[in-house]
Amino acid sequence: MEKDNGLVAMDKHKKTIKAHKEASKSIAKARIPASPARAPPTIPKAAPERGPPRCFVLSGFGLNAEAELAYAFSLAGADAKIVHFSDIASGAAKLSGCEIFAIPGGWSFADEISSGRILANKLRCNFKEQFEEFASSGKPILGICNGFQTLAKLGALPNIGMSFSQEATLLTNANGRFINRWITLRPQKSVCKYFEGIDFIQCPVRHGEGQFIPKDEATLSQIEKRGLVAVKYCDESLREAQGYPDNPNGSVKNIAGICNTTGSILAMMPHPECSVLRTQFPRFTSGVSHEKNSLRLFQNIVEAAKGYI
Active site residues: 145, 271, 273
Burial class (CB in 10 A: 0-12, 13-18, 19+), 222: middle
Burial class (CB in 10 A: 0-12, 13-18, 19+), 126: middle
In our burial notation (b when 16+ CB lie closer than 10 A, e otherwise), range 38-68 reads eeeeeeeeeeeeeebbbbbbbbbbebebbeb
Pick left, alpha or beta for residue 101 (phi over 0 → left; psi -120 to 50 → alpha; otherwise beta).
beta
**Distance (Å, whole) CA 103 – CA 146:** 8
